[in-house]
Amino acid sequence: GENVEQHPSTLSVQEGDSAVIKCTYSDSASNYFPWYKQELGKRPQLIIDIRSNVGEKKDQRIAVTLNKTAKHFSLHITETQPEDSAVYFCAASTDTGRRALTFGSGTRLQVQP
């Protein structure tokens, strides 16, 4: 089955700096890659997603890049703010057969004011 690895497990940045979180996946059939943000005690919330027919997607301060050949994708947050502090999860799925998400292990991002 699919396996998603995520790095780093913790990331501390100064407010205003950029943050990058990287994930690799194993199943070449995966074609949907969402990123979720989870604040302490809250539900995971989708912040951005990308499908395999595009290489990059941006939404204000957040961007995701996908390299299908290398089977890795990354989340980029620019101009970080204290409210960006949370755990971020990457995930992968296919649109055939089993379609549920396989999640990475999470990255705890701490933005220091």
> Reduced to 3 states, what is the DSSP secondary structure of residue 36?
strand
How many binding residues for another protein (CB under 8 A)? Answer: 26
Calculate the alpha carbon distances from 70 to 47, 78, 97 in Å.
23, 24, 23
Sole binder of another protein in the list 12, 26, 45, 112 (CB under 8 A): 45
* Token pair for 105: 């292990």
Sole binder of another protein in the list 18, 46, 54, 82 (CB under 8 A): 46
Sole binder of another protein in the list 11, 49, 68, 76 (CB under 8 A): 49
Print the binding letters for residues 66-105 with another protein: x by CB under 8 A, - otherwise.
-----------------------x-x-x-x--xxxxxxxx
Give, in degrees to the nearest 5, the angle at Cα 64 between 60 and 69. Answer: 155
